[in-house]
Amino acid sequence: MRDIDLFRSGDAYAATLTCLDSAMAAHWEPGAPHPLDRIAALEAFHQRGIETWVSLEPALNTEETLAIVEATHRFVDFYKVGRLNYLKCDIDWQNHTDRVVALLEQLGKRYYLKQDLVGFLPETHTSAFRIL
């Protein structure tokens, strides 16, 4: 936030968000700004006319990812969607991809699916890189 005055039209501000839950954030992202502080910064930059985007990775669970989109879609212009890699987890990536893409499309949001999720899209899906 201290540098918000340095941003101009045509710039972009981005944040990584993995969860909204404070305890989960403290465990997975020690030392990182609190998710609510990152969300407040996204909203402030958006209000100044700066494009905003969020990296939704690593995905810790589907419900948290969906909650982030629900909490931020009014002031986030673009989402990059990835998954949790290198750690064993019980996420059903097919279900995760289906639900996250459905919500983003329902909200009319621009998004980019990382390659590790593209394989979970149906062949009839028009684009894994839905950048409008």
| Domain range list for the chain | 4-118
Q: Quick check: 132 pLDDT over 50?
A: no
Buried/exposed 22-53: b ≥16 CB within 10 Å, e otherwise = eeebeeebeeeeebeebbebbeebbeeebbbb
Model confidence over 65-119: pLDDT tens digits?
999 999 999 999 999 998 877 667 788 888 988 999 999 999 999 999 888 887 7
pLDDT digits (tens, 9 = 90+) for 92-102: 888 988 999 99
Residue-level pLDDT at 30:
92
Backbone angles phi, psi at 98, to 5 degrees: -55, -50
* The amino acid at 90: D
Query: Can the peptide bond before residue 33 be classed as cis, meaning omega within 30 degrees of 0?
Result: no
Q: Which fold has domain 4-118?
A: pyruvate-formate lyase- activating enzyme (3.80.30)
| Other residues' Cβ atoms within 10 Å of the Cβ of residue 79 | 25
Q: How confident is the model at residue 124 (pLDDT cuts 50, 70, 90)?
A: low
Which pTM does this prediction carry?
0.88
